[in-house]
Amino acid sequence: MSLACGIVGLPNIGKTSIFNAATGSGAERATYAFSTVEPNLAEVDVPDERLEVIHRFIETDKIVPARVQIVDIAGLAEGASRGEGMGNKFLGHIKETDALMHVVQCFERTDLGRQSAVDPAGDIEVLELELAMADLETVSRNVDRVSKKARTGDKEAVFQKELFERAKALLEDGVQLRSVEWKDEERAALKPLFLLTIKPTLYVANVADDDFEGKGEFAQAVARHAEKVGADWLPMCGDIECELAGMESEERAMFMEELGITELALPRLLQVTYKLLGLQTFFTAGEKEIKAWTIEAGDTAPVAAGKIHSDFEKGFIRAEVYSVDDLVEHETESAIKAAGKLRVEGRDYVMQEGDICHFLVNR
């Protein structure tokens, strides 16, 4: 499956620094408010050391990691929904993303044009209000769209009208839609609206270079908010991470050791994002390629096969499955089979994290 994450935040608080740290893109960072117009886009490989582990035992022509698109849009000013600053014209660029990374300023600097004191909780409130106002406009428009048909008694239109009116009332009460439990059929009906406040959100505390672990007052304000709304958060120093991303590997390793940083930005961000979205990875491995595939936790073997080719789900017969640990222990697939570790699974098999699979399908 294709995964996309959108980066949001107020102007000049380090969104593009986080984007550059995660992608190594070198996108130009804004020097004053509203100087960014076009979104920054990048596709990155999902780091997974298991690919190299598999490659140690299976010769192949190429290794294909999973991919993620990251979208960095212009900062949203307070009042954007009323047309302040550049308005919320940029939100369309992240409508179809799967998750949001909400970057929050957790450092003090005098050269960024901020007129007020650093206030992470207040900044979060401002940004989320703008997202909610954008969603309110969307659901209001869709209430009007389905109302005429609902008056004829059309069951689907009646269901949609009631659902959209419920979402509208929640937004008017200041509720972020992701905090509400929705039934599967309700989520399916809301999905085409591409609502922003229903997307899983990771709060990224952009910290100063003396607070990598996020123990300072500003970062802890983000932590408290994340805990309050049942979300995850990460402390990250965008400026330092940018510098590290641009270094050669030996120099980077030396500086990371000196700074006490054990992992770069991208793996940390994607690990939490996969968790947010309930995603997991399986692998296929053969002479042509070793490839990582992304599926939802709980997907069955036919669904996983369908990620490779849509016809494979319908034509699924069985899957031969083993683990990366099995491969490390026995070194070859034939040895795994001889040891009785090669499992033959049917249509009801629920895929497990890190499965290596061969699918037999009826073409």
CA distance 154 to 161: 11
In sequence order, what are the beta bridge partners of 318? 360
Q: List CB contacts of 163: < 8 A, sequence separation 6 or more.
A: 186, 189, 190
d(CA 164, CA 180): 14
Q: How far is CA 9 from CA 36, 81, 101, 224, in A?
A: 13, 14, 8, 18
The whole-angstrom separation of Cα 185 and Cα 159 is 10
For the record, the structure tokens of 201 come out as: 């959100």
Element (H, E) at 320: strand 316-322
- Using DSSP, state whether 13 is helix, strand or coil: coil
pLDDT at 34: 47
Q: How many CB atoms lie within 10 A of CB 22?
A: 29
Biggest CA pair distance of the chain: 70
pLDDT computed for residue 112 by the predictor: 58
The residues near 321 (Cβ < 8 Å, ≥ 6 apart) are: 301, 342, 343, 344, 345, 349, 355, 356, 357
Q: Say what the pLDDT of residue 113 is.
A: 57
Q: What six digits make up the tokens of 284? A: 């296929």
Q: What is the pTM of this model?
A: 0.86
Q: Helix, strand, or coil here: 278?
A: coil
SS3 133: helix
Q: How far apart are CA 183 and CA 164, in angstroms?
A: 14
Angle at 306 between CA 305 and CA 310, to 5 degrees: 140
Q: What type of residue sits at position 306?
A: G
The residues of the chain scoring below 70 in pLDDT are: 1-2, 26-37, 77-89, 110-115
Count of beta carbons in the 10 Å neighbourhood of residue 37: 11
**Structural domains in the chain plus CATH codes:** 3-275 (3.40.50.300), 298-361 (3.10.20.30)
Q: pLDDT digit string (tens) for 28-87?
A: 655 444 445 678 888 989 989 999 999 999 999 999 999 999 999 877 766 655 555 444
**Which of these, 344, 343, 342, lies nearest to 334 by C-alpha position?**
342
pLDDT for the residue numbered 268: 85
Could you give the CA distance from residue 52 to residue 46 in angstroms, rounded to a whole number? 13
DSSP state of 92: G
